[in-house]
């Protein structure tokens, strides 16, 4: 799943408006951020020689070409190896680290210093874990059975496989549903706080159009059958799209500041 991963952030923000929407948006993509970062490290240190890399764990997370699926121009024509990041074990670990970083950020900002004890650490952890694990849950929905559960305690993998069994349009509408569900949550949170100002509406429209358009492009913007004979089946893919993906991350996180920042301020005033 692509832009749809952001959807749960808006829903969570509606129920917990004191938690930054920006941080919730990041939490929903944290699994992939770590996954792509490991791929960049693997390319930098080991030139994507995943079988020969001497650095522990660096090249354990990667994708490989699947020529058969590429020739069919399948929804997602690659094979994913993400045993640790895309698991419940990884979600718990990343949520814990992310909560520590969030709490440190709270202590360093003047706007939340008087509010820093409003929510306990473990309460905050549970909320951010919802954001992190939502990525795993949605991946279980769309992936083939390649999503791990509790490594290294079990090697079992699950996946309902809408990418495999549904059409591109079916998957596009599924993802749009989660995008728009998150937008409804954001809109409802701002309406409840009586903060539907011009800046919000501009950011809301920009985000809605961009997320909807980018999601369409992710499914229909590339015909992999044209490159199927130019790659080696089973070879590790180079993370060449990471710079573009990073720009899209920064864009989404920046826009989310204007979608949710006023909500944070209003909640802080109430506690004060």
Three-state secondary structure of 226-240: HCHHHCCCCCECCCC
Instruction: List the beta bridge partners of residue 65.
Output: 78
* Per-residue pLDDT at 116: 47
Closest CA to 34 of 82, 98, 89, 85: 85
What rounded mean pLDDT belongs to the chain?
91
Closest CA to 75 of 154, 159, 191, 197: 159
pTM across the whole model: 0.91
Helix ranges, the chain (H): 7-15, 21-46, 67-71, 88-108, 121-142, 162-165, 168-192, 198-220, 242-271
Kindly report, residue by residue over 231-256, the tens digit of the pLDDT: 999 999 999 999 999 999 999 999 99
- Assign 112 a pLDDT band (cuts: 50, 70, 90): very low
Kindly report, residue by residue over 148-159, the tens digit of the pLDDT: 999 999 999 999
Report the range of poorest mean pLDDT among 33-42, 57-66, 90-99, 115-124: 115-124
Report the range of poorest mean pLDDT among 11-20, 174-183, 260-269: 260-269
Structure token digits, residue 117: 């004890």
Instruction: List the beta bridge partners of residue 178.
Output: none
For residues 204-230, average pLDDT: 95
User: What percent of the chain is predicted at pLDDT more than 70?
Assistant: 93
Kindly report, residue by residue over 51-70, the tens digit of the pLDDT: 999 988 899 999 999 999 99
């Amino acid at each position: 799943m692509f832009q749809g991963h952001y959807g749960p952030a808006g829903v969570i923000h509606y129920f917990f408006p004191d938690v930054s929407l920006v941080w919730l948006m990041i939490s929903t993509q944290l699994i992939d951020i770590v996954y792509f970062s490991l791929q960049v490290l693997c390319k930098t240190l080991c030139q994507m020689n995943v079988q020969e890399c001497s650095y522990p764990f660096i090249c354990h997370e990667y994708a490989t070409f699947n020529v058969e699926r590429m020739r069919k121009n399948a929804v997602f024509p690659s094979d994913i190896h993400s045993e640790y990041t895309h698991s419940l074990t990884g979600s718990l670990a990343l949520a814990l680290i992310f909560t520590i970083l969030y709490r440190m950020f709270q202590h360093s900002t003047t706007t939340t210093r008087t509010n820093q004890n409003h929510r306990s650490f473990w309460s905050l952890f549970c909320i951010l874990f919802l954001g992190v694990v939502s990525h795993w849950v949605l991946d279980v929905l769309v992936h083939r059975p390649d999503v791990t559960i509790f490594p290294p305690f079990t090697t079992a993998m699950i996946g309902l496989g809408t990418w495999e069994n549904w059409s591109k349009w079916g998957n596009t509408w599924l993802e749009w549903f989660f995008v728009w569900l998150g937008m409804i949550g954001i809109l409802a949170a701002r309406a409840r706080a009586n903060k539907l100002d011009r800046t919000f509406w501009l950011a809301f429209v920009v985000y809605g159009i961009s997320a909807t358009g980018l999601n369409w492009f992710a499914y229909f913007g590339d015909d992999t059958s044209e490159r199927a004979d130019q790659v080696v089946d089973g070879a590790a893919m180079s993370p060449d799209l990471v710079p573009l993906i990073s720009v899209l991350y920064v864009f989404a996180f920046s826009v989310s500041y204007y979608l949710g920042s006023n909500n944070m301020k209003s909640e802080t005033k109430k506690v004060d």
